Amino acid sequence: MFKPNFRYTNKIVSNLIKISTAREIILNSPFIPKWEVTLQREAIIRRAHSSTAIEGNRLSLEQVSDLVHGREVMASRKDKQEVLNYLGVLENLEKLTDGKIITENNILSIHRMLTKETLENNSDCGRYRNRYVVIGNRLTGEIIFRPPINKDVPNFMKNLIGWLNSEVAKELDPVVEAGIAHYEFVRIHPFVDGNGRTARVLATLILCLRGFDAKQFFCLDDYYDSGRQAYYRALQSVDQKTLHLTRWLEYFVEGVNISIDAVKEKVIRLSSERLRKTRRGQIALTERQMKIIEFINQNGRITNKDLREMLMISDRAALKEIRKLLDLKVIKSEGKGRSLGYVLS
């Protein structure tokens, strides 16, 4: 089985403590639903933009946002498809595994979703490489990294997946586990293309499955994209003879700390004044209720008819959902009769 080689340094431990503190502040902040939905949506958009931009996608953050909201974007078909594929994976992250277990089929499926209609050969989607590839500098032609030969890929992946699902991995801090998995996946480079995107999704998936970023609030991809050369240098810092991951993990853990600290500061600003007054604590919403809040955020209001059509439920069931949100004082009614609708309180 795969056995990662690393040691804890003062830098890693210090950042893990800061991460834990920031995470507790976020999870325990009195939070209202419209902010939660907004933070989730912002993080997903930024992830889709940053992770694809690292690999050469030319869409701006504004264009990615336009795509999310169904607006027309003037860009190449491939660039748009890459972003839409990434968004689709992030929006369905919790449905992409077999419970808490990550399988080989899960990873192949994720790669297939990420690369759909973007590769020269469609047969390469969701399939380990059958020809050798190297990682190089697109401008200079310099070869930066030579991954394992094709025939070794399935066994390396089997070992990595076995480790991910082992008790040994679960005993590690989820941030450390995600960082190790990210590097080892990039090192194996199991696919012809799309390895970086798949590695970053895998790291995100691990953090979600371990309950670290269950609400998908923070965007580590921004950290990579804002300093691409530092990202590549950190990946290249690992000696291929010893595969000692300490320097890479220092970089990765620091990135999580920077990313989650930015979310913490935003949550503190959003939460302080209003919810200090209410003292009601956090409001837990169901998946249906979150969809209702997101609809109102995007459209300003929602009607009973909108709700029935969106959730494909009966009039009685729609009224029941509305009453729950009214009782929680998350929404309020506006208008009367045929013009009756609901807005955020």
- Distance, CA of 16 to CA of 14 (rounded, Å): 6
Structure tokens at 130: 């059958």
Q: Which member of 69, 111, 189, 244 is catalytic?
A: 189
142 in helix, strand or coil? coil
Catalytic residue check, 189: yes
Are 311 and 301 a contacting pair, CB within 8 Å? no
Strand partners, 341: 334
Report helix angle 33-54 to 61-68, nearest 10: 120
- What whole-number distance in Å separates Cα of residue 312 and Cα of residue 184? 43
Note whether 342 and 302 are within 8 A (CB).
yes
Q: Helix 174-188 to helix 153-164 angle, to the nearest 10 degrees?
A: 170
Write out the catalytic residue numbers: 189
